Amino acid sequence: MSLVAACAAAGVLAGPRWQWLPIAAGALAALLLGALRLRGPRPGRRPALRAAASALVLASCLGAAGAGGLAAWAVPVPAFPEPSGPHPVGAVTVQWEDPGREETWTDDPRDHRVVVARVWYPAAPDGAGDRAPSTYLGRDAAEAETVAEGLAAGFGLPGFVFSDAAAARARAVTGAAPAAGPHPVVLFSPGLGGVRTQNTVWAEGLASHGYVVAALDHPYDSAVVVLDDGTEVRGAVEATGDPAQDDRLARGWADIRAADLDLALVRLLEADGGPLAGLADPGRVAVAGHSLGGAAALLAAEDDPRYHAVVNLDGLPRLSADASLPQPLLALVAASGTGGAEGDARYARELDAAFAASAGPGYELTVPGTAHLGFSDSPFLLPPLPSLVGSLGREETARITEAACLAFLDSALNGGGADVADTLSGLGRLTPKP
């Protein structure tokens, strides 16, 4: 009865969550067991057998309740921090089409490449009015549920596991009136199978400090992309198991993403209406990415003077041997490594080659206590396992990532700010690159 009461109280306070189902089942079984015991022993029932059966049922009840409690702890209701900068943050979702580029994932020659972007920007002090913060994973609740199911499928989990993320709210306000521009721009590509909102905390933090951040969904690569007309485009990337073939495929996927970033830059700078008009400064543009998105960012910046800085969040560079990067480069590296000595050696070798191709200055920052997924919003969504998201807790990796990027971008794009090397040295193990 105490367990039933605790479940009811927790459900009322926290709201309905799937994690309460096993707890409620355990509580109900315990209540039934208690009712049976109140009836007293039945004639002919052996006391020892009755006690063993009761103990087994009670252990099952406690096990179910414990499993539900563990699930509630491991997959929490996302609680995103307030952006750290002085500006409130607005956001808008846009769709851009490239009529000159055929969609390589389909056979229809009339199908042209389309990308969907979430754009965060500094808002005017009273630009949000009384509107509520935006839905985290999509334009509305229906899209958020679709994206949550797609992300869960990417981890091999049932769709309801990320139902709390589907219901979560970000800090930015959709359609808030923007602060007068122009502002420096950061284009962002997520990890393999990732979605445009996977680095929302980071993007909102940059926007609160005066940056316009445009993060992309890459159709057929992202877990699921919902187009303006409601069409759902599911991810189609798939490894073959052959390392050489998978490397070629990954380079091809990164090339497509790089072209998507170029499209986003053109459309963002061309914006002549809505909240994005006049916001982007073509003289202050950075390109960034996480994991495969980091590789795409480097490919987009190759020999392209439109980009003035590059940020690689733990991505394996896939540049050609004669690549040239006319920009400074910041690389954040997870201290947990790739999971194997061979992978670590290749990553270090490719990263050194990227720094050698860069015009500099270059900064390689290895952050103690971090894992690969920690450089996204994953610590707010996934179990806090060190091998999965690092050991810094739910907010610390996000704080370090934002602080490192702000120091680098303020120097590279705005020509000011604190000493980059000094700031980065306080955030991890810094290796300056010539």
Task: Give the model confidence (pLDDT) of 153-203 as tens digits.
Answer: 888 888 788 888 898 999 999 999 999 989 999 999 999 999 999 999 999
Task: Give the model confidence (pLDDT) of 313-355 as tens digits.
Answer: 999 999 998 999 999 999 999 999 998 999 999 999 999 999 9
Among the residue ranges 11-25, 194-208, 289-303, 388-402, the one predicted with the least confidence is 11-25
pLDDT value of residue 114? 95
Token pair for residue 36? 């049976």
Confidence band of 12 (pLDDT split at 50, 70, 90): low
pLDDT value of residue 163? 86
Q: 280, 295, 91: which is closest to 191 by C-alpha?
A: 295
Token pair for residue 193? 């199978």
How many separate helices (H) and strands (E) can be counted in the chain?
A: 13, 12
> Residue 148 and residue 8: Cα distance in Å, rounded?
27
Confidence band of 418 (pLDDT split at 50, 70, 90): low
pLDDT at 16 over 90: no
Average pLDDT over the chain, rounded to an integer? 88
Per DSSP, what are the bridge partners of residue 358?
A: 325
The pTM score is 0.87
Task: Give the model confidence (pLDDT) of 81-122 as tens digits.
Answer: 999 999 999 999 999 999 999 999 988 888 899 999 999 999
Q: Which residue has the higher pLDDT, 306 or 16?
A: 306
Confidence band of 35 (pLDDT split at 50, 70, 90): low
pLDDT at 283 over 90: yes
CB neighbour list of residue 97: distance below 8 Å, 6 or more residues apart: 112, 113, 114
Q: Which residue has the higher pLDDT, 72 or 432?
A: 432
- Distance between first and last Cα of the chain: 68
pLDDT at 77 over 90: no
Overall average pLDDT of the 60-64 stretch: 69
Q: 341, 318, 352, 312: which is closest to 432 by C-alpha?
A: 352
Task: Give the model confidence (pLDDT) of 368-386 as tens digits.
Answer: 999 999 999 999 988 888 9
Task: Yes or no: say if 414 and 284 are a contact pair by the CB < 8 Å rule.
Answer: yes
Token pair for residue 116? 């969907």
Angle at 420 between CA 415 and CA 423, to 5 degrees: 135
Q: What percentage of the chain has pLDDT greater than the value 70? A: 84
Read out DSSP for 292-353? HHHHHHHHHHTT-TT--EEEEES------TT--B-S-EEEEEETT-SSSHHHHHHHHHHHHH
CATH topology of domain 89-433: Rossmann fold (3.40.50)
Q: Where are the domains of the chain?
A: 2-74, 89-433
Residue 1 Cα distances to 32, 35, 52, 341, angstroms: 9, 10, 21, 54
> Residue 208 and residue 220: Cα distance in Å, rounded?
31
